[in-house]
Amino acid sequence: MSLVKAAAQSVAVTFAAVLALSAAAVALGVRVFGLTVPGALALYFVVWWTALFAVLPFKARSQADGGNVLHGSDPGAPALPALKEKAIWTTLVAAVVFTTTAWLLPLTGL
């Protein structure tokens, strides 16, 4: 079992992992790359939500693909959305993108 799957077994552990990774990325942006706290939070917020919409379709199987469509639901609805795992993966992807962006910002002169 991977570390992400293990952390995604509990909502509390998932929330703690997402919060800790996000805080570490924002702190890195502030201390190492010289961003202001509001600027780092705003940039991380935008990057995280953009990453979420990129990560959501990964390993997504619709109910129609699985052959088990629940009565009253859309056949295109995911059978097993695995949202806790995707929240952790989103946070990992966002941390990498945020750190890279914070590193590149001074090079652009902004």
Distance, in Å, from the CA atom of 15 to the CA atom of 58, rounded to the nearest integer, reads 20
Q: Where exactly are the structural domains of the chain?
A: 3-108
Residue 102: predicted pLDDT: 92
Q: Look up residue 99 and give its two tokens.
A: 């750190």
The dihedral region occupied by 34, where left means phi > 0, alpha psi between -120 and 50, and beta the remainder, is left
∠81-96-91 over CA atoms, to 5°? 30
The alpha carbon of 110 is separated from its chain's Cα centroid by a whole number of angstroms, namely 26
Residue 110: predicted pLDDT: 63
| DSSP H or E segment with residue 78 | none
In a structure prediction context, what are the per-residue pLDDT tens digits for the chain, which is 110 residues long? 588 888 888 999 999 999 999 999 999 999 999 899 999 999 999 999 999 999 998 888 877 777 777 788 788 778 778 889 999 999 999 999 999 999 998 877 76
Residue 21: predicted pLDDT: 95
The alpha carbon of 77 is separated from its chain's Cα centroid by a whole number of angstroms, namely 21
